[in-house]
Amino acid sequence: MRYFILIILIAIILITPIYALKETTIYLPAVEETDYGDEGILAILTVNIKQGNGHVYVDTWPLTKIDTQVSARTAKKVACDLLYMDCSHYDFFYTIRSDAQIVGGPSGGAAMTIATLASLLDLNITNNVFITGTINLDSSIGPVGGILEKAEAVSKKGKTFLIPYGESIVERKKVRRETIGYITIEKTTPEQINVVDYAKKHWNLTVKEVRTIREAFEYFTGYKIKELRLKFKKTKEYQRVMKKLADELISRATELKKSCIKKLNESTISYNYRDQILKICEDNLEKARDNYNNGNYYASASIAFSKLISYRYGEKLIEFLESDDEKFYLRDYLKNIEENIFGINTSNIELYAIIEERLSEVYEKLDEAWRNYYNENYLQGLHYGSFAEERLYTANLWMKYANEFPSYIENQSEFLKDIANRMISEASSIITYSSLTSSNSYLNSARNLLERARDNYKDGNYYAAIIYSLKSQANAELASEILFKDKDYLLELHRKNALVAINKTKSIIGQSYFEYAQTLEDDNQEASLIYYTYAKKLSKLSEILNKEIEKDMIIPTEYIERISCNYENYYNLTIFISIMIFFAGLLIGKKL
């Protein structure tokens, strides 16, 4: 009986997964550029992860194209994001070896991501499964070329080949030769090939389409990455700040509304203008109060702010129409706003980010106001000026709340310059990767924000450089994602990612961006996407700046769960276990 138990114990030990020590090797199906056309090859990628500072190192031989290096950085980012993990305390080493002269293109991105995940989680991957595909920043697998050539190369070593969804039908040129007398004529016609059927018939290779890294990860490891179920829970600190803000804005709006109506009643302007201005001055403030009473302080503050702009515009419109010189009135009004703009003086980067964003909006609205002034569109210029004045007021309000912000996001570190430089580098890398497949307004915004980050870095404004870099990263990520996914999917994805970051850091700016994104979902999905992504990015300011903050400990069982075994993944392991049990039985039998 005890020998039987011993055999069972041996079997259990052998079945238990063998964990790699943060090193994973995986094949990269690639295409070699030869004089005779493209040829499928298998390069070898090794991933090592060690304690470090979030750097990515790529070592290739022979040569590699720049987009392969960018793919490595993207693979690291996607893997860490999938696990909702801060990887800033690890260095990632990607080593690629190949017999080909040049391994080109970003098609190894999916394999790099799988290997990175396996290393982070100390999991073995099967050597019977291969994958090709670019990696998108939302963890979806993007299209590649050379599917048929890669499949032939894979068939020599593997049993299963994973390809991007929708890429099982490829087109190749079919050459036919016809001989007429002494002349041979070659005719080339395109033909469509079903890679799934073709590979099975000619090479006994199973080809499967996959949409995401999550799906591919299961084929390689027999595990699936757990999904998180999260709710938005506003912190007491955040609610306290927003309650104060809503209080002040409602109070100011109430007084300004009274002032607007009083000035209108005392004015001598014509009835044509009077009726229009009365509608502006009597704009209802009850919705702001209702939200306040229900504890929705952010919504209350936002509504009150929009009413403030209306009341301010109504009041200034009365003064403008009663002035002796309307042009000079507008000029003096705009100059007065400019004279009251202040510099930001805080060591708290999150507060800095909030105020800086509002001051940027002040400058933006003033630019529009002056443009309309010089084009003699005075009423429009007056409206932009009213917006700028009230936005400047809210920037001042936030300065009053400096003591409300948690001290853990204060940073006066001598390493601030290095952090800013790293954020700029990461933004540049993401833009480079996204520009390979996209060109849209998100990418343009990313480039503009990156330039602002670099300008601030040169001027020594490292806080601003970090903030603009993070916003640049957010736009660059969306630039590539928007091509392959519908907006509803992306909204859900970035809403969840933002919640993970907010729940972890309790960031005030993250919570405010999140609430703002929620208000935009129905009317402006693109803006909502941006602010969900900003919420995620800027919620991590504390992790980026504070080296003493507690880092993530990797406990695999927190991130993954086993799926039912399948024959393809565990074929070799099953044979190995059977053989070992057989020999164990023989040895024990001899002793008996």
DSSP secondary structure string, 557-586? GGTEEEPPP-HHHHHHHHHHHHHHHHHHHH
pTM score, two decimals? 0.71
Could you state, in order of their start, the residue ranges of all structural domains in the chain? 21-171+197-225, 236-404, 415-545
Alpha carbon distances (Å) from 33 to 41, 68, 105, 108: 10, 15, 11, 16
CA distance 5 to 100: 51
Residue 119 phi, psi dihedral angles, 5° rounding: -70, -45
Beta bridge partners of 94: 47, 58
Name the one residue in this structure whose structure tokens are 């994104």.
Answer: 517
Which residues fall within 8 angstroms of residue 453, CB to CB, at 6 or more apart?
420, 423, 424, 427, 464, 465, 466, 467, 468, 469, 472
pLDDT value, residue 384: 97
In degrees, rounded to 5, the angle at the alpha carbon of residue 154 between the alpha carbons of residues 148 and 159 is 115
Which string of DSSP letters, residue by residue, matches 129-193? EEE--EE-TTSBEEP-S-HHHHHHHHHTT-SEEEEETT-SEEEEEEEEEEEETTEEEEEEEEEEE
CA distance 523 to 532: 15
CA distance 216 to 135: 12
Beta bridge partners of 51: 90
CA distance 356 to 463: 10
406 preceded by cis ω (within 30°)? no
259: its two tokens: 């002032």
| The domain made up of 21-171+197-225 is a member of CATH 3.40.50.300 | no
pLDDT value, residue 571: 46
- For 210, other C-beta atoms within 10 Å of its C-beta total 20
Assess contact for 153 and 31: CB atoms under 8 A. no
- For 3, other C-beta atoms within 10 Å of its C-beta total 14
pLDDT value, residue 312: 97
239: its two tokens: 């609610």
CA distance 360 to 344: 12
Query: Which residue, 125, 120, 93, 143, is CA-closest to 216?
Result: 125
pLDDT value, residue 180: 73
Computed on alpha carbons and rounded to an integer, the radius of gyration of the chain in Å comes to 31
Helix (H, G, I), strand (E, B) or coil at 212: strand
Which residues fall within 8 angstroms of residue 276, CB to CB, at 6 or more apart?
none
Helix (H, G, I), strand (E, B) or coil at 461: coil
CA distance 530 to 573: 46
Query: Which residue, 50, 61, 78, 41, is CA-closest to 430?
Result: 78
Name the one residue in this structure whose structure tokens are 């080593």.
Answer: 95
Ordered per-residue pLDDT tens for the chain, 592 residues:
555 555 544 444 444 444 333 699 999 998 887 777 778 999 999 999 998 878 889 988 875 566 777 789 889 989 998 888 878 788 999 999 887 765 556 788 999 999 999 999 999 999 999 999 999 877 889 889 899 999 999 999 999 999 999 999 988 777 677 777 777 777 777 889 999 999 999 999 999 999 999 999 999 999 999 887 788 989 998 999 999 999 999 999 999 999 999 999 999 888 888 989 999 999 899 999 999 999 999 989 999 999 999 999 999 999 999 999 999 999 999 999 999 999 998 888 888 999 999 999 999 999 999 999 999 999 999 999 999 999 999 999 998 887 777 664 555 556 788 889 999 998 998 898 788 777 788 999 999 999 999 999 999 889 999 999 999 999 998 887 776 567 888 888 889 889 988 988 889 999 999 999 998 898 899 999 999 999 999 998 877 877 555 555 566 667 778 875 444 444 455 555 556 665 656 555 555 5
pLDDT value, residue 346: 85
pLDDT value, residue 411: 52
